[in-house]
Amino acid sequence: MKQAFRVAVIGCGAICGNHIQGLLSAEQQICALCDVDLSQCERIMEKYGLPDLPVYTDYLQLLDAERPDAVHICTPHYLHAEMTVAALERGIHVLCEKPMAISHEQLDRVLAAAKRSTAQLGVCMQNRYEPTILRAKELAQSEGIRAAYGDVVWKRDADYYASGDWRGTWREEGGGVMINQALHTLDLLQWICGMPERVVAHIANDHLPGVIEVEDTAVAHFSCPNGSSFHFFATTACGATFPAHLRFYLNSKKKLHAEASQLILDGEVLFSKSSGDAHGKAVWGAGHTLLISDFYRCIGEGIPFPIHGEEAAKVIRLILAMYGSNGAPISL
Ligand SMILES: NC(=O)c1ccc[n+]([C@@H]2O[C@H](COP(=O)([O-])OP(=O)(O)OC[C@H]3O[C@@H](n4cnc5c(N)ncnc54)[C@H](O)[C@@H]3O)[C@@H](O)[C@H]2O)c1
């Protein structure tokens, strides 16, 4: 029989429901909720038919009173590091929403705490579990990659940024399209192509000046140690949201094109998901459920969860280097 862990969720906003669904599907025991706005906890309990759970506005009180086996951190970006460190220091496993940190200083603190802790740290980069991506990775790596390209072209308007004070700010969101929406796709590119050694990048906010401080558009060129390279483009300034794309030029001179719903090699469709899979927020399908199930499998079996701190730190290092570049090369 599957082992059920006692799990608390901190932050009951927009993404929380994906975690609740994933936990229910993985047959874990949700033992408590935390949000500074208690009506959010009530909303979640009602929406998912949960029993009357203990609720907290202070996450430290929750950690000390409930002593859960694991916590899911679904709060604004600037809180991830302090909440992760507090849980790991108490020997509580952490599944943290992306990004795991928004500065080098936070990154170092989280990685040090993960190293010291008896508990595991996992980061929610669920697109690594998408079947399309797994096939693309296998194919691209077996044939060898000469060049690659990724793009994220989405719409995020002033109403979206008004939905949370933390959004659109350097201090609390830690950046714009790169640290939030495009992080997943850049992570997949480096996961498949390998960690680059150099980046040259430009960022801009041409669409919503006066509304957000952070970038809504970014472009970057990454050079890899083996002489290959990859390019990246991301914007939330488009009038519509399109599926994110990954493209690979293989050593065989074939072109591989991956998106959430399909994988195409030189015009031949190798894999296609049902057209019922939505774009936009659901663009990458059921990844949360797959990732959460794997997280508890790993903890139950006492083996390392694959998207651990050091692994999740790679894309943060790339994004922080993009922010620091301003058109000049940065070594990674
Ligand atoms: N993996 C994905 O694809 C994905 C998708 C969407 C969001 N996210 C991530 O999930 C996180 C949350 O995003 P969201 O869209 O749900 O944001 P949100 O603003 O809708 O929800 C955040 C919640 O945290 C609560 N909160 C704020 N400060 C708190 C504190 N000190 N203690 C407890 N609760 C607190 C807020 O009241 C709010 O209910 C972000 O890191 C975001 O990047 C990930």
Residues 243, 273: Cα–Cα separation, whole Å: 13
- 23 and 116 co-located in one domain: yes
126 lines ligand 1 (CB under 6 A): yes
Q: Ligand 1 pocket check: which of 74, 94, 167 to mutate, most ligand atoms within 8 Å of Cβ?
A: 74
38 lines ligand 1 (CB under 6 A): no
Q: Ligand 1 pocket check: which of 56, 78, 96, 97 to mutate, most ligand atoms within 8 Å of Cβ?
A: 97
- 243 and 294 co-located in one domain: no
Tell me how far the alpha carbon of residue 76 lies from the centroid of ligand 1, in angstroms.
Answer: 5
Tell me how far the alpha carbon of residue 228 lies from the centroid of ligand 1, in angstroms.
Answer: 36
Residue range(s) defining the domain that contains residue 245: 128-283+315-331
pLDDT for 277 beyond 50: no
Q: Ligand 1 pocket check: which of 15, 36, 63 to mutate, most ligand atoms within 8 Å of Cβ?
A: 15
62 lines ligand 1 (CB under 6 A): no
Determine, yes or no, domain membership for 183. yes
CATH of the domain at 31: 3.40.50.720
Residue 134: partners with Cβ closer than 8 Å, 6 or more residues away? none
Strands ordered across the beta sheet of 93-97: 55-56, 29-34, 6-10, 70-73, 93-97, 121-124
Contact yes or no for 41/65 (Cβ under 8 A): no
CATH of the domain at 196: 3.30.360.10
Number of C-beta neighbours around residue 258 at 10 A: 28
244 lines ligand 1 (CB under 6 A): no
Tell me how far the alpha carbon of residue 80 lies from the centroid of ligand 1, in angstroms.
Answer: 10
Residues 219, 248: Cα–Cα separation, whole Å: 17
pLDDT for 59 beyond 80: yes
127 lines ligand 1 (CB under 6 A): no
- 64 and 172 co-located in one domain: no
Residues 9, 278: Cα–Cα separation, whole Å: 26
- 237 and 207 co-located in one domain: yes
Q: Outline where the chain has alpha helix (H).
A: 16-25, 38-47, 59-66, 80-89, 104-116, 131-143, 158-162, 183-193, 287-301, 309-325
Q: Mean of the pLDDT values across residues 50-72?
A: 98
Number of C-beta neighbours around residue 274 at 10 A: 7
Residues 154, 158: Cα–Cα separation, whole Å: 13
- 122 and 269 co-located in one domain: no
- 110 and 175 co-located in one domain: no
pLDDT in tens, 215-261: 999 999 999 998 889 999 999 999 999 999 999 999 999 999 998 88
pLDDT in tens, 109-166: 999 999 999 999 999 999 999 989 999 999 999 999 999 999 999 999 999 999 899 9
The pLDDT of residue 280? 38
Q: Whose CA is nearest to atom 21 of ligand 1?
A: 13
15 lines ligand 1 (CB under 6 A): yes
pLDDT for 183 beyond 50: yes
Of the pLDDT bands very low, low, confident and very high (cuts 50, 70, 90), residue 1 is low
- 172 and 106 co-located in one domain: no
pLDDT in tens, 305-314: 999 999 999 9
Q: pTM for the whole thing?
A: 0.95
Of the pLDDT bands very low, low, confident and very high (cuts 50, 70, 90), residue 275 is very low
Determine, yes or no, domain membership for 1. no
